[in-house]
Amino acid sequence: DQQVKQNSPSLSVQEGRISILNCDYTNSMFDYFLWYKKYPAEGPTFLISISSIKDKNEDGRFTVFLNKSAKHLSLHIVPSQPGDSAVYFCAATPAWGGAQKLVFGQGTRLTINP
Amino acid sequence: DSGVTQTPKHLITATGQRVTLRCSPRSGDLSVYWYQQSLDQGLQFLIQYYNGEERAKGNILERFSAQQFPDLHSELNLSSLELGDSALYFCASSVGGGPGANVLTFGAGSRLTVL
């Protein structure tokens, strides 16, 4: 049972354009969501998070949107840069859960073309 | 460099064998987590230790075990290896170990290949 799904295994975007990565979840107990970015031969690194009391969180070029009713979140990267090429994982947990309750999606490989 | 060190980076072994993966957490972090990433899968939580004590267990097989030592480094032992155990094994650390400790710092991973 895949509680967190990233339905697009890969995404290709032109440099300077917007990249939109999507994530769906099924467990209504999830109320804290994170995005991690992973480069080859490195571990995932934390990118941005959002609590269910918000519907948007921004950090520079990165914005995460949360639609609780649709159980959907998305990560927007504007403008996309070549260094953004990586695998992006979304993850979710109940607020009381801690990291041991984090459930990760399968990841989306983002390629930014010059 | 994330501050979380994992060794070895790569390991190739045969079915039925036993291996040990090692992790040193980021300085100051008391909690260590182990994750498994099989091909095209998300990271699957295996086990968490906090300050030497087992704190939480995920989908860890009985053939697998882990421990955290007084110096806070951790080892993941995988025995009676099967082809399906081939995966990337990540270690992560955090300062705390309870609710709210959601942001993890990951190591670069140990890639295990079982032939």
Contact B88/A at CB under 8 A: no
Q: What per-residue confidence (pLDDT) applies to B62?
A: 96
- In the numeric block, which tokens belong to residue B98? 């309870």
Give which of B111, B110, B87, B112 is closest to B24, Cα–Cα.
B110
Interchain proximity B104–A102, CB inside 8 Å = yes
Interchain proximity B45–A100, CB inside 8 Å = yes
H/E element holding B1?
A: none
Given a cut of 80, whether residue B4 has pLDDT beyond it is: yes
Q: What per-residue confidence (pLDDT) applies to B83?
A: 96
Q: What per-residue confidence (pLDDT) applies to B100?
A: 62
CA–CA gap between residue A110 and residue A12 (Å, rounded):
6
Interchain proximity B102–A102, CB inside 8 Å = yes
Q: What per-residue confidence (pLDDT) applies to A97?
A: 73
Give which of B87, B102, B88 is closest to B31, Cα–Cα.
B102
Given a cut of 70, whether residue A113 has pLDDT beyond it is: yes
Q: Which residue has the tokens 């009381």?
A: A96
Q: What is the pLDDT of residues B14-52, one digit of tens each?
A: 999 999 999 999 999 999 999 999 987 889 999 999 999
Cβ-count burial of B5 within 10 angstroms (0-12 exposed, 13-18 middle, 19+ buried)? middle
B41 residue type, one letter:
Q
CA–CA gap between residue A19 and residue A96 (Å, rounded):
31
Contact B86/A at CB under 8 A: no
Which of A44, A45, A95 lies at the smallest CB-CB distance from B99?
A95
Q: What per-residue confidence (pLDDT) applies to B42?
A: 84
Q: What is the pLDDT of residues A50-109, one digit of tens each?
A: 999 999 999 999 999 999 999 999 999 999 999 999 999 999 998 777 777 889 999 999
Quickly state the pLDDT bin for B96 (edges 50, 70, 90). Answer: confident
Give which of A85, A36, A65, A97 is closest to B37, Cα–Cα.
A36
- Under 8 Å between Cβ of B91 and B75: no
- Under 8 Å between Cβ of B44 and B94: no
Rg (CA), chain A: 13
Decide: helix, strand or coil at residue B85.
helix
Average of pLDDT values for B2-20? 96
Decide: helix, strand or coil at residue A42.
coil
Q: What per-residue confidence (pLDDT) applies to B103?
A: 81
- What's the length of chain A? 114
Given a cut of 80, whether residue B99 has pLDDT beyond it is: no
Given a cut of 80, whether residue B101 has pLDDT beyond it is: no
